[in-house]
Every structure is written in structure tokens, then in C-alpha cells.
Chains A and B, each alone.
Chain A
Amino acid sequence: MSVAINIKNLSRHFEVHDKKPGLKSSLKSIWNRPKRIVKAVDDISFQIKTGELVGFIGPNGAGKTTTLKCLSGLLYPTKGEVEVLGFTPWHRKRDFLKQIGFIMGQKGQLWWDIPPQETFLLNQAIYEIPDKEYKERIRFFRSALNIKKEISIQTRKLSLGQRMKCELVAALIHQPKVIFLDEPTTGLDVIMQDKVRDFIRDYNREFKATIILTSHYMKDVQALCRRLIVIDKGKIHFDDLLSKLKNGPGSQKTLTLTFKDEVSKKDLKGLGKIIKYEDLRVTLSVKRKNASRVASQALEKFPVTDLNIEDIPIEETIKKLFQGQ
């Protein structure tokens, strides 16, 4: 499989002004503005193969969107090399721009005061899509996203969910080969999140598009991505299969034990880390590989009436990753 995206030692720094609170500091800032360099992206490298759907996650300000903006040519990097479909993005070549799509969850491309169909028609003209194909694609999107009358209603009068569906159409009508999805499900209700997820999955399968997805919802990433890249403070902390993060050597499970009689904390010491301790119930965190052994030890030693073993939620694993644990 060929490489669609290749990043080598990419860095993007921003200069920001520091200002202390208060009027005095505001007055001072008229002639003296202390500057600071923020390393939004700091020397990252990775490759993405054609047709891959990769999750790109990190906390707020981690550098996700900045990376996507460098990949799409919106930002010039401070240093490093980037190739997307063989193009240097910030050269903004016509053939490159015709093959990418960028969906920004917070910043749409639909014209605010006129119905979405007018934006679609504009995109048809921009991407030079023949009439017949355009109609077929609109039909496809309407059925895949269950879009009805909303395309003929003024954009500003649409609900967030309706708008996001139309944003997807506007960004994908030219069938881009590389798609940057920046928090496409933010603010959507659970049902709409599911619909958008299903659509992204189907689209990736049908059109073999290379997709990078950023999201704050781990459900998005778990449902869609095999590979995960975790970024924080501009550095990549993890780049591998999602399953490896879940089942890796450091991965944990939780053991919830319910007892017939009270068991002291002291007696439970040695089994694992106590997360929660209630009257007759205790929740322990244990290493995945030791989970079965600890469970049988507990069953032997204590009056256990109920036992439950669960994977630690992926959010917890990632939180630990960010905390360097």
C-alpha cells in the first residue's frame, strides 16, 4: 500500500503575547509586549498509508489541529517536511487542493445566510463536477446521511446535527482522496454521533479515502480507527494499533469484588491497587496479565459473592499516557 501522508520532523511554533491581568498591565502592553514561543507541534514524524483511517487524539492544545492545518496547507511549518499525495501542502497546488477535504467541527464552510444546496452548487463549480455525477453524488449523500429538506433551508436555521450532515456533503462532494476530520462529532447528540460515525466508516470503505480523525470522544476513535496517534504538548506519545494500547504490557483491568462479610483494606493489600472501597464492595486495579490469578486468589481467600472483571476504559489508559504513567 502506498504512502498518502508522510511527515518528517514537523514543527510549528507560534509567537504569543503574555499579558498579566489588570488595567495596569494593559497600559504597559501598549509599548511593551513580552513575547513567548509556543511549540504547538514539536518535531513529530509519522506516515499514513493510502486508505488508512487513523485516530489522532490529544487534550486541548495538544497540537492536533495545528498538525492537520500543516497537512492541508493552511499553515507553513516552522521546520520539517510534509508530503501529502506527493505534494507539499503549503504550495497549494490546484491538483493537491482538488484531492483534499477538511471538516472543521467548529468552523463550517457552508454559506451562513443561504441554503446548503447553494454551497454544494458552488463546490460543484469549483471542483468541476459534471452535472450527472453531481446529481448522483447528492443522491448518495442524501440517502447515506438521511438528508431531507434541510439542504434547501437557510444554513443558520439548521440544527447543529443537520448542519454537520450538510458540512460533510460540502466537504466530500468532490470525493477527496485525503480527508481531515477535526472533531466532526463535537456537540452532536448520541444518535447523530452514531450516524456520523457510520457514515465515515462506510465512506472510508467505499472510496478508500485516507482519513485522519481527531476527536474528544474516544467512542469515535474506538468505533472507526485501527491505528491511533496520541499527541500531547506537540509531541507524539503513542503511534500504533489501538488494540496495543488496550492490551499492551502496562494495560490494566478492574476487578470488582462483592463480599458476604466485611473485608479489611489491610487484607486486600497485595491483590492490587484499591480504587474504591465501600462496605462490602471493593474495586481494584490490576495488571491485565495478572487479572485471572488475582481473581482466583480473591475467590480462595475471601467470602466473595460476586466478581466482575472489566477493561479499564480507554480514556483512563490515555489519561495515564498523558500523565506519563
Chain B
Amino acid sequence: MKRLSKSFSKANKYIVIAKNTLQEYFVYRTNFFFWRLRTFISFLVFYFLWLAIAHGKTHVGSYTQAQLYTYFVIGYIIRTLVFSTRTSDLGSAITQGSLSRLLLKPLGVFKFFFTRDSVDKIFNFFFLIFEFSLILFLFKPELITPLPQNVLYFLLSTLLAIISFFLYGFLIALISFWTDTPWSGHWLFGVVFVNLFSGQAIPLDLLPQPVYNVLINTPFPYFYYYPMQLFLGKIPEAQIWPLLAKSILLSSLVFVFIKSVWKKGLIRYQSYGN
């Protein structure tokens, strides 16, 4: 009983962090509105682009029209839940010295940022419901009806994508211990690489075979391409669990790597500013 109450009180601090983070969001309503607008517009760009490409064709590569529209419309869930992250705040906290505020407390910095990231996703999720309904109402896209097990695989792989995207973001932020420009790493990883290589702009199997072969051996397809392939039922049953296991393994390796980089980073930490 005592142990239970102790772990509850430990968890309690992260609940309060979540509450405070949520309160901050209500302060920055305009900021948040523009972020949602950006996500929505970037979805529209890709959606209309592929609508134009698929126009008058029954297939684009191995995709039927319905599969292609599904790839982008359902992918909007991933855009919202996976790619919304606050890990870049860690980079700024390291370079500006505000990380000190956290380091002085009996508090896990990793858990602190994970809590804030989770709140960010929950907040985004409520907007997603509204925006997703709007997309269905406005464009009435022709979507496929997935098999129930494919929906489950999709949800599981999206959850893994959320975790691994956070881990990679956290790792990139730790570069700030060695360099004073936290945004360059995030820009390169979060904007350039993820946009191009995760499959959110182009289904990766439509790319030339050599490029595809390289990309599927990187972590990027796990953020968007594979969850969507699972939703569309394009991955053979026998390959699904090994794929998910590989995703877990990659995330575990990144987690171990983060721990080691964090320790080395703290030794270099300069705690700028009084």
C-alpha cells in the first residue's frame, strides 16, 4: 500500500506538469491555431497534388485511387499525432541554460518532456477530430474499408511511431550540448528528412527502387509509411510482427543511446546565464 502511494505521488508531479502545460496552451491560442492551420494546409497540398496525379487513372503504381486517397487522408492522423512534438524545446533549454531549472529538482528531464509531448498530442487530437470530420465533409474522399485487424496494426504502429519520433527528437535535441544551434538539427531531421523520407509526401514504393531500398533501411518509414501500409493491408501477415518488433528494437536502441548521450552531455553542460 505504501509503495503504491509512493508511486502515485511520483506520478502526481507529471500529472501537474501535464496540467500546467495544458494551461500554457490556452494562453497561446493563436500560436496553436496557426500550427493547426499549417498542418491542415500542408495536408491539402499533398492531397490535391495526388488527386491531380491520380485523376483519370485507375492505378498509380500499386495503389488504386481509393488506396491513394486513404494513404493521405488517414495519414492526417499520423501527421497530427506523430509529428507534433515539443522536443525542440529541450535543445533551446540546453543552449539558453533554462535546463538548469529542471536539473535542480528531483525530476526526470526525459519524463518531463515526454509528459509535455503527450499533452501536446492530446490537445492536437481534439482538433484532429474536428478537422478530420471537416475533410470528410468537404471532400467526401473515396476511402477503402480496412479489415479490423489492419486498423489494430495501424494503431499499434502509430503508437510506436509516436514513441520513436519522440525519442529521435529528444536525441537530436541533445546535440545542443555540443553545438549552440539547436534548430538546425531539428530542421534537418524534423522538416527535411521526415518530410521527404517518411512517406508523407510520396509513398516510398513509388520512388525508384534503389532509393526505396535505401530508405526502408532508415528509421523514417516507421513514422508514416509503414503505419499506412498496415492500414491498407499491403504488408503480408507474416511480415507484420517482425516489422513491429524491428520498430521496438530500433526505439530501444535509441533509448539506450539517449541515456549514454545524456550522461556525456551533462558533463559538457555550461548552464549559461545567471
Contact = CB atoms under 8 A, between A and B. Distances in A.
Interface string B142-184: 0000000000000000000000000000000000000000000
Contacts of A121: 16
Task: Select the residue from A118, A122, A183 with max chain B CB neighbours within 10 A.
Answer: A122
A80 interface: no
A128 B5 CA distance: 11
B274 to A, nearest CB: 4
A113 B28 contact: yes
A76 B15 contact: no
Nearest to A114: B23
A74 interface: yes
Given A69-B271, A114-B20, A107 B9 contact: no
Contacts of A102: 100, 104
A114 B274 contact: no
Contacts of B267: 76
Contacts of B270: 14, 75
Task: Select the residue from B15, B106, B266 with max chain A CB neighbours within 10 A.
Answer: B106
Contact of A107 (B16, B266, B274): B274
Contacts of A114: 20, 23-24, 27
A128 B17 contact: no
Contact of A104 (B13, B24, B274): B274
Interface in A83-117: 90, 92, 94, 97-98, 100, 102, 104-107, 109, 111, 113-114
Contacts of A109: 101, 104
Nearest to B96: A107
Interface string B1-43: 0000000010011011101100110011000000000000000
B270 to A, nearest CB: 7
B105 interface: yes
B97 A107 contact: yes
Nearest to A156: B27
Contacts of A154: 27
A268 B155 CA distance: 93
Contact of B103 (A14, A74, A107, A183): A74
Nearest to A121: B16
B71 to A, nearest CB: 38
A94 to B, nearest CB: 5
A122 B13 contact: yes
A98 B106 contact: yes
B56 interface: no
A128 B6 CA distance: 9
Contacts of A113: 23-24, 27-28
Interface string B102-119: 011111000000000000
Interface in B126-150: none
B98 interface: yes
A107 B106 contact: no
A122 B17 contact: yes
B18 to A, nearest CB: 10
B274 A183 contact: yes
Task: Select the residue from A105, A109, A182 with max chain B CB neighbours within 10 A.
Answer: A109
Contacts of A73: 103-104
Interface of A: 14, 65, 69, 72-76, 90, 92, 94, 97-98, 100, 102, 104-107, 109, 111, 113-114, 118-119, 121-123, 125-128, 154, 182-183
